[in-house]
Structure 1
Amino acid sequence: MSTKEKPTLGGARIKTRKRNIAVPLDPSTFADAVVQIYLEHEGDLELIAKDIEASDLDFSRYGDTFFEVVFTGGRNQPGTTKPEEGDQQPYSVLNREATRQSILPYVLYLQKIIRRRPFLIKNLENVMKRLLQSLELYDGDDRRKLAIFTALTFSQKLSGLPPETIFSALLSDSLVAKGTVLGFVTDAFKEFLAENSLDDLISLLKRAKMEDRLLDFFPMQKRTPEAFADHFSKEGLGVLVDYNMKKVFDVKLKELRTTLTDQISANADLAEVIDMVKQRRKEASLPDVDVVRAIWDAIMDAVQWSGKNQQQNVNLALRQVKTWATLLGAFCTTAKLEIDLLYKIQVHCYEDAKLMKLFPEIVRALYDQDVLAEDTVLLWFRKGTNTKGRQTFVKSLEPFVKWLEEAEEEE
């Protein structure tokens, strides 16, 4: 019987599983180190930035702590403005004056830091969100500093900061109810518009998904267009008032057009439709010219296009115009409104290939039902200024105009 030993693999090592060793968080030591850099350079942000960039501090682990030092001078006790134990530096954002000149250098300083460490933008977002959610803990002067800082971060296009997070952080019921949020956004809007256009502000609000929610910044009892206009007019932000008025106007006009389309599609009673339009016009103070345009759009929107037979489509559209011409006539009551309607029809027929050949028939139908006067048609034919498809339409309308002119001569 063989006494040989079983072969073994020479040099084989038995691996032991490593345990995840938890390194204790030590934000206090990190904060003290950052504070010392501030103190060494006596608040000189250029020198501080250089030392921050050259340091081996663990920003990936303590990014939030870094921004707490930037804003408040040190670490704060959670949910308060009281400092935690540890060093404090007096060169923080909230220790500056509430002016653009004092706050802007801090925004530019953070731009440098974040360019070298892009991951820090998330930490800035976290800290700003906490600060804005705790606005009631700060006095009016500190809130204004935060508003200026917030406006400048977007004005200077601080890379990657999401406006939707910043603005949504303000929509706390208690903060809104006290008027704290309205004061904050007013200061922020004024600062932003100091060097940016209204279009820039609207673009920012769209990115923040707040373009249609500006009244949400107002206490519940003041969420009216009148309160909006009164507040921002007093604050010197008339451009914002004008924008909101147009926004409200557009919404009312769109609602009118939608309702009209539904009623026309359902062949509602003409008298009831006219009464509804008059009531909406009065309630929303809608100009007659916009009402007439909305009626025309609704008439066209309600056409049930078949999409198959071109002639059938043309007949449907013309029938719709003839059926609801009286509705147009009820509001198209002046020569000025008539010529505007004719321009509206011209542009519509030019932009919709299905209607190009229908233009003269529409004009004739509206003339027959006393919506368009003879003088209006002749004025458009001889002196019309809108160039969209004009040559084609003038040529197609020549036989009707010739008939009008001959009738005029006979009279």
Structure 2
Amino acid sequence: MSAKEAKPTLGGARIKTRKRNIAVPLDPASFADAVIQIFIDASEEDASLVENLDAAVKVLETSDLDFSRYGDTLFEVIFTGGRLSTGQEKDTGGLKLDHSILSEEANRTSLKPFFESIQQILRRRPFLIKNIENVLRRLLQQLEHYTTEQQDKLAVATSLTFAMKLGLPPENVFLVLINDVMVAKGTSLHFMTSFMKDFLSDASLDELMILLKRGRVDDLMAFFPIQKRDSENVATHFKENGLKAIADHEESKRNDSRLKDLGVTLVEGISEGTPPAQIISLVKSKKKENNLPDSDLVQLLWFSIMEAVQWGGKNQQQTTNAALRQVKAWAKLLGGFTTSGRLELELMNTIQVFCYEDNKLMKTFPDIIRLLYDQDVLDEATVLTWHKKGSHVKGRGEFLKAMEPFVKWLDEAEEEESEEEG
């Protein structure tokens, strides 16, 4: 009788399933209750909010709670006093905190202690920044479900996250507000208005605009309902809400855009040889239509005239001749808008900076000024004022020295006139 044949076996090592690879069901409710209980246990009746929050954070730092898995839930508790649900009116059950960001008053004094506590938490667990971002985004996405007062609290809270430099990417926060429904209802505009008012309480306008630009929401008109997206509504809204600086900034931006468009038209007209009188009429019309500042127009005219120059020269003299020909040809255009000593001085300083920044025209500055004087664009008194106390800081020493012969000639001419009159 033959022996039984051995059954075939699989070769290689047996791989055991590691238990740590088995997913454990999430239990945010239990985590939320544990965090809330820590805050409750750490609180004392005779202690201040700051002291109670500080005590609770110290316990959190030494706890073995799974923050990496339930980071969102931690900040839901800090912001709302419990777990965050879809829609403000729905109750998720479980324990609730008496003190949270949404339960305090809508001002920095009341809410700052919570963010000082968040800073302490982040020092030990910086990876939780992403969880703050997640929760704040969800809160802002649900903004229309909150009362006006709660929206103001979230606006102050958002302001503090950036003012205290918690590290949130602005674009991941603000862009959720560009929502058709919330914009149409005015919810987004109300939030942004409250946010900007609070942020400007401790920061400059430039800092705010840099933040909004990083957040890709620096076009504030996008927050206005479509039927209210015009300059008058924008200015009125911000002025009525104590944000005149914002209203002025928005008007300045619109002026910059209008001036840019006008500049393109001017360069084309000058290059094509449009009669100066026709261009003067166009500029005056645009000035009246858009309420453009005189000083900005003077600068724009100079840059437009120079941009239209055909710089074909290969040496200094050819460059100088090209510049002087252009200035002489369009002096009447400049003269049409330098209607006061202040605007004449503005023109002189614009030319000074222009020549300073374009090295090939440094030595041409006195010739340009003399030509504009001869063409009755610049007055004698303006030139003397510029030389004594009105020059721009850029290249001042060199330009003042270069102008000395002309200024001396003006002084002598003035003395001769005085003697003749006497």
Does TM, scored on the shorter chain, surpass 0.5? yes
Structure 1: how far apart are the matches of 2:408 and 2:272?
A: 36
Residue 90 of structure 2 corresponds to residue 82 of structure 1: yes
Match for residue 146 of structure 2 among 138, 145, 167: 138
Query: What corresponds to 1:385 in structure 2?
Result: 390
State how 1:369-380 maps to structure 2 within 5 Å. Answer: 369-374=375-380, 376-377=382-383, 379-380=384-385
Deviation for aligned residue 1:230: 1.6
Q: TM-score, normalised by structure 2?
A: 0.84
1:99 alignment counterpart: 107
Q: How does 1:319-330 map to 2 (within 5 A)?
A: 319-330=325-336
Deviates more, 1:59-68 or 1:221-230: 221-230
Distance 1:48 1:399 in 2: 78
Q: Deviations over 1:156-185 (max 9, x none)?
A: 222x11222222121111111111122212
Aligned residue identity for 2:390 = T
Aligned in 2, Cα 1:170/1:392: closer, same or farther, shift over 3 Å? same
Range that drifts further, 398-407 or 224-233: 398-407
Q: CA deviation at 1:49?
A: 0.5
Q: Please, which moves more after superposition, 118-127 or 272-281? A: 272-281
CA contact (8 A) 1:181 1:217 kept: yes
Cα deviation digits, residues 279-326 of structure 1 (max 9, x gap): 111112123232122101111222243584333322222222122222
Instruction: After TM superposition, list the pairs within 5 Å mapping 1:211-360 onto structure 2.
Output: 211=218, 213-306=219-312, 308-360=314-366
Q: Which deviates further from its counterpart, 258-267 or 217-226?
A: 258-267
Equivalent in the alignment of 2:169: 162
Using the alignment, how far apart are the partners of 2:114 and 2:386 within structure 1?
A: 64
Task: Return the alpha-carbon distance in structure 1 between the equivalents of residues 109 and 386 of structure 2.
Answer: 61
SS across alignment from 1:60: helix
| Cα displacement (A) at 1:87 | 3.0
Partner of 1:6: none
2:121 aligns to what?
113
Match of 1:123 in 2: 131
Cα distance in structure 2, aligned partners of 1:381 and 1:93: 58
State the alpha-carbon separation in 1 of the partners of residues 82 and 210 from structure 2. 35
Unaligned stretches of 5+ residues in structure 1:
1-11
Once the two structures are superposed, residues 183-211 of structure 1 have per-residue CA deviations (whole angstroms, 9 ceiling, x without a partner) of 21222222222233333323322332333
Three-state SS of the structure 2 residue aligned to 1:169 is helix
Cα contact 1:133–1:169 (8 A) shared by 2: yes
User: Which whole-Å deviations, capped at 9, do the CAs of 1:354-411 have from their partners, x for residues lacking one?
Assistant: 112212322333234332345544x357645316133332235369758966996899
Q: Is the 8 A contact 1:360 1:396 kept in 2?
A: no
Equivalent-residue separation in structure 2 for 1:95 and 1:375 (angstroms): 66
Q: Which moved more, 1:342-351 or 1:101-110?
A: 342-351
Distance 2:272 2:130 in 1: 54
- 8 Å CA contact 2:344–2:377 kept in 1: the answer is yes
Q: Distance in 2 between matches of 1:34 and 1:336?
A: 66
Instruction: State the partner residue of 1:171.
Output: 178
Q: Distance in 2 between matches of 1:241 and 1:354?
A: 41
Cα deviations across residues 115-167 of structure 1 (Å, max 9, x unaligned)?
11111111100110110111111111211111121112222222x11222222
Equivalent in the alignment of 1:28: 29
Q: Identity of aligned pairs, percent?
A: 51
Structure 2, unpaired ranges of 5+: 1-10, 44-48
- Of the structure 1 ranges 329-338 and 281-290, higher mean CA displacement relative to structure 2 is found in 329-338
Contact 2:122 2:129 in 1 (8 A): yes
Aligned length: 397
Deviation, structure 1 residue 100: 2.6
Indicate how the Cα distance of structure 1 residues 193 and 164 shifts in structure 2: closer, same or farther if over 3 A, else same. same
Change (3 A) 1:347 1:339: same
Query: Relative to structure 1, is the Cα distance of residues 67 and 399 closer, same or farther in structure 2, using a 3 angstrom cutoff?
Result: closer
Mark the CA change 1:131 to 1:252 in structure 2 (over 3 Å): closer, same or farther: same
Amino acid at match of 1:55: S
Per the TM alignment, residue 79 of structure 1 is displaced from its structure 2 partner at its CA by 4.5
CA distance in structure 1 between the aligned counterparts of 2:191 and 2:346, rounded to whole angstroms: 44
Distance 2:76 2:387 in 1: 72
Counterpart secondary structure, 2:360: helix
Distance (whole Å) between structure 2 residues aligned to residue 248 and residue 80 of structure 1: 39
Contact conserved, 1:270 with 1:327, CA < 8 A, in 2?
Answer: yes
- Equivalent residue number for residue 49 of structure 1: 57
1:219-262 Cα offsets, whole Å, 9 max, x none, are 22222222222222222222322333333333333333333223
* More displaced 10-residue stretch of structure 1: 88-97 or 291-300: 88-97
Q: In the aligned structure 2, how far is the partner of 1:300 from the partner of 1:329? A: 16
CA distance in 2, matches of 1:185, 1:244: 15
The 1:400/1:75 distance shift into structure 2, 3 A limit, reads same
Is residue 345–residue 390 contact of structure 2 (8 Å, CA) maintained in 1?
no
CA distance in structure 1 between the partners assigned to 2:360 and 2:412 by the alignment: 26
Partner of 2:371: 365
Deviation for aligned residue 1:16: 1.9
Instruction: Indicate if the aligned counterparts of 1:76 and 1:82 stay in contact, CA closer than 8 A.
Output: no
